[in-house]
Structure 1
């Protein structure tokens, strides 16, 4: 910024002069700021109006355009302790005789309370231990010596759990969940709680314990041997078990193909691990021989001992890898080479393209040294083992074995009800059941406690021997209330638009500056700004178009009903008011809440009772037209977004332009102010120079 000389020589109040000069220029920026503020206020107003208009469009016009909105029925039950009823618009009027014989129920199983089981403490003594989710079924006495299978059937789903020495309570619970059941083991109660997720006879489930036959067991063992099961990781073993379970559930071509793929992938991964381990061992031996040597030393007593020492190559490799340390002794260096350097070098070698290819080739073509058969052989052996197992499973069922489930407080469950024993410690089963209802003598069923029949919804509360009467009739008051609610919402949104469109002018009112606000009270500022905001949509063309559309559609549309007569809204007793300043608000003549027309005949109510079809046809057609016309008003354009009644895009673009203009004005005004100060500074300098020359001349003249 240039040095500003403020009247030192001229004596002028430069600051005030520049401020006065700038005031006129700043007013141009202020005008742009005012336009931006007003436009932002307008955006806010339109945003609120748009939300209300869209809500009216979807929630009221969107609903009342359908004839079904005028077909409301009501249903009354003579005994709500047995059932309650509601009626759709399609329900036939009349009286229904209903008897609830049975309520739907979901199958529910509660196991017997499990006792403790014996484990060994640290001293090897037998101790009683409570059952938990981690308890193994074998510890509870479940026979795992053969091929025990717990089969769970729920609907079309069948899940098998192969029980071995590692199968836990949690595994059993998870399989129940996999079958689509609710299941848990409550450790405090020491019981299993199992239930169907839905009520109804179709949701019945069964749980049974079987053992594979000798041939099936042999086929299973052969498949496990083919997979070298005992060497697999626990995760891969779990996958193999799942394959066995899936094959027992289905022996289709698709199931077998999926089994081939899954097991072959595991076999390939196992082969790669074996080959990698083989090369790891080879490389480890290579680097060990290269870096470490052994020597025989004799102590003072003549005893010979073999000791390990680093070779020169080992010492150099340690330095090259930056793993040496000045404070190390030989034993330290030897330990680093054995425990770190060799492993690093092996890992590095295995990552080279050469070893990667060697491993891939061994997995594909086999390796005698690594004990890996070629992939084609592995794949073929797996296919044979899978096919053999699937054939044995499909040839017959396993041997029944009910004793296992008793160890879990259960028994084979076929869906039948089971009462708990007299001591209150045994298994209890609630059988799945459908609701059974007689409607006018006909027996109907439902999988839950709700029954839908002929447009009637029956909510069943309790079974009873007595008949309940349900009466269905027209609910004219509900239809009337729906139309009244629609009219009220229409008037509400139209009133708000009228307020803005017919607002008083705010000419001469501009948004206040910060300095102006400081000179006014908060109440005065609010009143000032409200005056401006209320007038922003005065005589707005977009607003006028929406209002005109709504008024014209509602009061100008005529409908020819099925009786051949032509009706308008006025023929239904819905009309505009006596005061023209209401600008199109609607009144329902004879409505008790309408101050102007409460004493008139309620034509709408009479028509709903006497000729509801006319009301239905006229109202639905007029509201359909309104819905369609409002939809057209929301059509997306280059100036407005979809589902928007105003030019939101255009306004946003204009606000952005105002922001750009204001920024440019700030720069322009700053430059202008600097220019004024430079000019006054130049004047001060010139005056100072002139004054100096005058003084010098005067001194020469001796004055």
Structure 2
């Protein structure tokens, strides 16, 4: 569609373009309000999503505290590492192990033959040369062609299943018995390599044959653990989640290997939770108490362009500030978090002396006139917490991990460990925030703010169509006026000319 002809004040002398632009500024106000509201909604959505990411991090940290296995980490120590050393590789069930090493495992010393090959053969890939020949190793015949390489010979020995393996090392061809293989020597612990036809001198072989050294059989380790005898092909043996390494015999003099809770691992796990909890509630508290500056609104694009960059950035920050001020979702969540970690654990078998966090050394800020400003931060009495882990580990475990199967919400809450409660609360609040603002990990956004932003975009688009129509109408009106004035001026000139001729 061709653009309409626009006359810009040729007859009237008016700055038509400026007049229409000023008129359109007034007409654009509804669109400006929509754009500012859209920006506010986007800021709020992004702020919610930032909070949701923080809450998800805390939830992952809390998740580790829900499982008893993470509190049952053990360390093990031997009263004599020179005889037996040990390390935890699973979940030990015994508190201690009495160990007697009756016999250490010994590796088998294989039988071996070393042959010096011809100096012309410098690598595994060099052709042997000479003539074809056959040799026998441990009773198995191997045919060798002059075009074969050392690699070919090694492969043929392997495929012959001769109970020995061949290797080429430092110009020597080595034949070594495999562990446990049956050997053909008279003593059953040796073998020979000899040529049965042709000339094998290129590989250092002859028809007389070369006998191997004598194999020295290995032996298994024999140990007694808590009264039961075990054998092992190596001096490293895993039993009940503990890997033992046997180093020397101690016949008749058992030594003790003991296990205990890995205090540092449990302490660091709990401390990591407290640190993450404090980090998250600090950021949420900062967000919901951030000041709101009245009169500051998001800047439109043309407003940003008209201002220095730093000024525009400052005004944007002022307009963004307080976007989640006193937000009901986050405020409610903080209250529920505090309730979850402060309510006593009330369940069968719970030691009432260790039914709250404060009783294991985790409590609020020290008393003082500024304590209220801490907004629910947790503090650790390290000595008290370590003592609880060391002396009342089962009570600490229950305090965090106790699980309730009750279908009554109130009973389930009271019987659930702190980690269980907090995990559930975190899931509820993240679900609420996701419903309100969506998620950065989801391709489809059906959140309240997502739909609102989409609706605003559609409303802006409809307004832009209207404004285009209004602007075109203004131009038509001014163009018609210019055309009428031009025609009047033309007629006036004609009358003047006619009167001048009389």
Calculate the TM-score normalised by the size of structure 2. 0.68
Question: Hey, what's the Cα distance between the residues in 2 that align with 1:184 and 1:31?
Answer: 86
1:676 aligned to 2:474?
Answer: yes
Task: Report the CA distance shift for 1:142/1:552 in structure 2 as closer, same or farther (over 3 A).
Answer: farther
SS of the counterpart of 1:86?
A: strand
Question: Hey, what's the Cα distance between the residues in 1 that align with 2:110 and 2:31?
Answer: 78
Q: Is the 8 A contact 2:360 2:384 kept in 1?
A: yes
Aligned to 2:36: 34
Question: Hey, what's the Cα distance between the residues in 2 that align with 1:545 and 1:195?
Answer: 75
Aligned to 2:446: 649
Task: Report the CA distance shift for 1:129/1:457 in structure 2 as closer, same or farther (over 3 A).
Answer: closer
How many pairs does the alignment contain? 451
Q: Is the 8 A contact 2:20 2:475 kept in 1?
A: yes
Task: Report the CA distance shift for 1:582/1:611 in structure 2 as closer, same or farther (over 3 A).
Answer: same
Question: Hey, what's the Cα distance between the residues in 1 that align with 2:256 and 2:55?
Answer: 45
SS of the counterpart of 2:25?
A: helix
Show the 5 A alignment for 1:460-471: 460=245, 463-465=247-249, 470-471=257-258
1:583 aligned to 2:375?
Answer: yes
Question: Hey, what's the Cα distance between the residues in 2 that align with 1:559 and 1:642?
Answer: 36
Alpha-carbon offset, residue 74 of structure 1: 2.9
Task: Report the CA distance shift for 1:439/1:50 in structure 2 as closer, same or farther (over 3 A).
Answer: same
Q: Is the 8 A contact 1:186 1:192 kept in 2?
A: yes
Aligned to 2:405: none
Aligned to 2:496: 698
Aligned to 1:487: 274
Show the 5 A alignment for 1:547-586: 547-556=334-343, 558-562=345-349, 565=352, 567-577=355-365, 579-586=371-378
Question: Hey, what's the Cα distance between the residues in 1 that align with 2:491 and 2:156?
Answer: 107
Alpha-carbon offset, residue 402 of structure 1: 7.0
What is the CA deviation profile of residues 554-586 of structure 1, one whole-angstrom value per residue up to 9, with x for unaligned ones?
A: 223532351564833344443334534433322
Q: Is the 8 A contact 1:111 1:410 kept in 2?
A: no
Question: Hey, what's the Cα distance between the residues in 2 that align with 1:558 and 1:72?
Answer: 23
1:50 corresponds to which of 46, 52, 55: 52
Alpha-carbon offset, residue 665 of structure 1: 4.4
Of Structure 1 and Structure 2, which has the larger fraction of its residues in helix? 1
Q: Is the 8 A contact 1:74 1:472 kept in 2?
A: yes
Question: Hey, what's the Cα distance between the residues in 1 that align with 2:45 and 2:113?
Answer: 67
SS of the counterpart of 2:472?
A: helix
What is the CA deviation profile of residues 598-656 of structure 1, one whole-angstrom value per residue up to 9, with x for unaligned ones?
A: xxxx65444434433222212222212222343455569987879989x9532444444
Task: Report the CA distance shift for 1:640/1:500 in structure 2 as closer, same or farther (over 3 A).
Answer: closer
SS of the counterpart of 1:32?
A: helix
Aligned to 1:377: none
1:61 aligned to 2:62?
Answer: yes
Q: Is the 8 A contact 2:135 2:141 kept in 1?
A: no
1:628 aligned to 2:424?
Answer: yes
Task: Report the CA distance shift for 1:28/1:642 in structure 2 as closer, same or farther (over 3 A).
Answer: closer
Aligned to 2:413: none
Task: Report the CA distance shift for 1:638/1:490 in structure 2 as closer, same or farther (over 3 A).
Answer: closer
Q: Is the 8 A contact 1:67 1:616 kept in 2?
A: yes
SS of the counterpart of 1:92?
A: coil
Q: Is the 8 A contact 2:223 2:229 kept in 1?
A: yes
Task: Report the CA distance shift for 1:585/1:82 in structure 2 as closer, same or farther (over 3 A).
Answer: same
Task: Report the CA distance shift for 1:658/1:138 in structure 2 as closer, same or farther (over 3 A).
Answer: farther
Q: Which structure has the bigger radius of gyration?
A: 1
What is the CA deviation profile of residues 327-364 of structure 1, one whole-angstrom value per residue up to 9, with x for unaligned ones?
A: xxxxxxxxxxxxxxxxxxxxxxxxxxxxxxxxxxxxxx
Q: Is the 8 A contact 2:52 2:430 kept in 1?
A: no
1:498 aligned to 2:285?
Answer: yes
Question: Hey, what's the Cα distance between the residues in 2 that align with 1:686 and 1:574?
Answer: 87
Calculate the TM-score normalised by the size of structure 1. 0.51
2:394 corresponds to which of 613, 617, 624: 613
Question: Hey, what's the Cα distance between the residues in 2 that align with 1:42 and 1:139?
Answer: 88
1:452 aligned to 2:454?
Answer: no
Question: Hey, what's the Cα distance between the residues in 1 that align with 2:41 and 2:177?
Answer: 63
Task: Report the CA distance shift for 1:563/1:23 in structure 2 as closer, same or farther (over 3 A).
Answer: closer
Aligned to 2:5: 3
